[in-house]
Amino acid sequence: MVLTNVPSPSLRRKNCFLVISFVIFVPFCVIIFYSIPDPKLEQSLQMRLSQLQVKLQYLESLYTSRQEELLRLSQHIEFPNETSSANQLFLGLETATKQTGKNYTMSSSILGETNPRVMLRMPTIYHFLPHLLNDPNSLRLAYLAARGRTGVSIVMGMPTVLRPHQNYLMNTLYSLLEGLSPEEAADAVIVVFIGETDLEKVLQIAREVEQSFPSQIESGLIELIAPSPSYYPDLDKLPLSLGDPLERVKWRSKQNLDYAYLMTYCQNKGTFYLQLEDDILTKPHYFTKMKTFAIEKMDRKEPWFLLDFCQLGFIGKMLRSSDLPWLIHFLQMFYSDKPVDWLLEDYFSMKSCVRATSESCNAVRKKKWIHYKPSLFQHMGEHSSLKGKIQKLKDKQFGKVALFFPHSNPKAKVSSTIKHYKDYTLDRAYLGKTFFWGLLPQSGDKIIFEFSQPIVVKKFYFRSGNAEHITDKLYNTTVEVLPVDPIVQGSAWNVTSDGYIIVGKFDLFGMAEGILNETISKISVLRLHVHSESENWTILSEINIIVTEESR
């Protein structure tokens, strides 16, 4: 038989660890042994060692999964008649019945036999979520867009649904990506879990993400997943609890199942798992700050359970991936009993405190559930995915959100056909003192920058909308420049009827940027040209016109 030559699991495990330890620690000892004592070097080596230790934990949990597969396989080979024999006696009789649709009856009793061919059946996820047995595809993904990236430092999991009111997913992804350097982006995975059972809705969200972030999907930085509809039980039949109405019970129960699914998918992709939501803002350099914070804690041997980068709900909570299996099972066991953030707290106190209610639990909490200040993530949505629930909570530890981004721009006379609101004028915005806030733009409206003298513009960057008014963007708006000299023949620029060259366009995030190459020499005017009436006001929160050295 195939498996007779396979060493026993414990032996394999030992071998595997020997190899891992050898590969990781021997080069280390060599380095440390031969190096001249240098406190700085020592410290950086220590950090690196901590980093490797965390990685080892992660590899160990990967190994456990493989081990389990092997064990299952060997059981089947050793006991091919297993399901039809008496070993159904103890546990799993009902489960097996559901699984195969057959009735099992004890054909023979066993009286005092040593080493009988009877295997004990442990309760599994199917005991907590029996509805999963109704469809063999219940755990099959309904949608997947992934390059299969693994072995990164931080896996970010973000559940989303189609929201009837404001949709922040694209802005959230934009904010997350904007804060990542290329090196950081190579060391991360962002998994977007689409918690919709209607495939049309799943595809709608998936297409939007894929069209907005093609290169990030291509590189494997962003992955999209959706569960099979049969992953969920009949939510209308859930038992009521905590005095919540059914709508709320359904919402919070589904949320638990969503998180469990997402964590399960992410579990073996990286060393740390970060839970996010789909309506958040990030601070610059959030990735390295989190990673360094975690490694430092490991380095100082502080026994943390959770690193908390946002004070709210389940946003910005970081766990070791190797701890996830416990939490996942916990969420599955109690998914219809409590909301997800309560379960997280309960699981924490169960694991870390003598008694959950004791005074000392607070002290333990301070030590093992570590808040990072100031917060790195801010909640921005107001409409929760629970219909009608308004969620205005903001993290006070996040600090002020930048509502505009000042730059020094070339001297210009500015004007606009869009009426401004209060003292959010274009003049002040151009000088970097505030943002420009204009009332409903109409088709044909323009924002005009007339330079004091013709200049050569190298690059431009405009940002519309801001963190407090995300939808106040410039929609269907182009960036146009008026050249002093005719443009070079043969270049592919499009020109308006009044002689302006179209050099850019605001995208769906409300950003417009572009580079003007040498085919355009000096320009005297740059303008933003609105092409259709907008149902929202408009904010111009960043104006950055970069000129060549000679033009300064």
Ligand X SMILES: *[C@@H]1O[C@H](CO)[C@@H](O)[C@H](O)[C@H]1NC(C)=O
**For the chain, how many helices (H) and strands (E)?**
14, 20
Residue 52 in tokens? 């490797």
Query: Measured from the CB of residue 518, what is the shortest distance to ligand X in angstroms?
Result: 6
- d(CA 451, CA 52) in angstroms, rounded, equals 56
Chain positions contacting ligand X, by CB under 6 A: 80-81, 101-103, 166, 443, 471, 475-476, 491-494, 502, 517-519, 531-532, 535-536
Q: What is the CA radius of gyration of the chain?
A: 29
Query: Measured from the CB of residue 530, what is the shortest distance to ligand X in angstroms?
Result: 9
Query: Measured from the CB of residue 89, what is the shortest distance to ligand X in angstroms?
Result: 16
**Comparison of 128 and 493: residue with beta carbon closer to ligand X:** 493
Query: Measured from the CB of residue 549, what is the shortest distance to ligand X in angstroms?
Result: 19
Query: Measured from the CB of residue 471, what is the shortest distance to ligand X in angstroms?
Result: 3
Query: For residue 112, which amino acid is it?
Result: G
Collapsing DSSP states into helix, strand and coil, what is residue 325? helix
Query: Measured from the CB of residue 315, what is the shortest distance to ligand X in angstroms?
Result: 22
Q: Where are the beta strands (DSSP E) in 34-127?
A: none
Partners of 282 in beta bridges: 377
Collapsing DSSP states into helix, strand and coil, what is residue 506? coil
**Comparison of 140 and 459: residue with beta carbon closer to ligand X:** 459
Give the DSSP per-residue string, 380-433: --SB-SSTT-B-----GGG-PPP--B------EEEEESSPB-TT--HHHHHTTS
**Comparison of 397 and 476: residue with beta carbon closer to ligand X:** 476
Query: Measured from the CB of residue 537, what is the shortest distance to ligand X in angstroms?
Result: 9
- d(CA 50, CA 65) in angstroms, rounded, equals 24
DSSP letter (8 states) at residue 466? B
- d(CA 548, CA 551) in angstroms, rounded, equals 5
- d(CA 263, CA 426) in angstroms, rounded, equals 47
- d(CA 177, CA 180) in angstroms, rounded, equals 5
**Comparison of 149 and 473: residue with beta carbon closer to ligand X:** 473
Element (H, E) at 366: helix 359-368
Partners of 157 in beta bridges: 191, 275
**Comparison of 137 and 496: residue with beta carbon closer to ligand X:** 496
CA distances from 224 to 159, 205, 236 (A): 10, 10, 27
Q: How many residues does the chain have?
A: 552
CA distances from 115 to 109, 111, 512 (A): 14, 12, 73
Query: Measured from the CB of residue 141, what is the shortest distance to ligand X in angstroms?
Result: 30
Note the maximum CA span of the chain.
102
DSSP letter (8 states) at residue 469? B
Query: For residue 371, which amino acid is it?
Result: H
**Comparison of 37 and 490: residue with beta carbon closer to ligand X:** 490
**Comparison of 13 and 201: residue with beta carbon closer to ligand X:** 201
**Comparison of 241 and 496: residue with beta carbon closer to ligand X:** 496
Question: The tokens 């939501």 sit on which residue?
Answer: 277
**Comparison of 21 and 211: residue with beta carbon closer to ligand X:** 211
**Comparison of 302 and 485: residue with beta carbon closer to ligand X:** 485
**Comparison of 187 and 279: residue with beta carbon closer to ligand X:** 279
| Sign of the dihedral through C-alpha 534, 538, 542, 543 | positive
Query: Measured from the CB of residue 480, what is the shortest distance to ligand X in angstroms?
Result: 11
Query: Measured from the CB of residue 453, what is the shortest distance to ligand X in angstroms?
Result: 23
- d(CA 117, CA 75) in angstroms, rounded, equals 11
Query: Measured from the CB of residue 208, what is the shortest distance to ligand X in angstroms?
Result: 13
Query: Measured from the CB of residue 273, what is the shortest distance to ligand X in angstroms?
Result: 32
**Comparison of 4 and 357: residue with beta carbon closer to ligand X:** 4
> Both ends of the chain: CA-CA distance in Å?
80
Collapsing DSSP states into helix, strand and coil, what is residue 30? helix
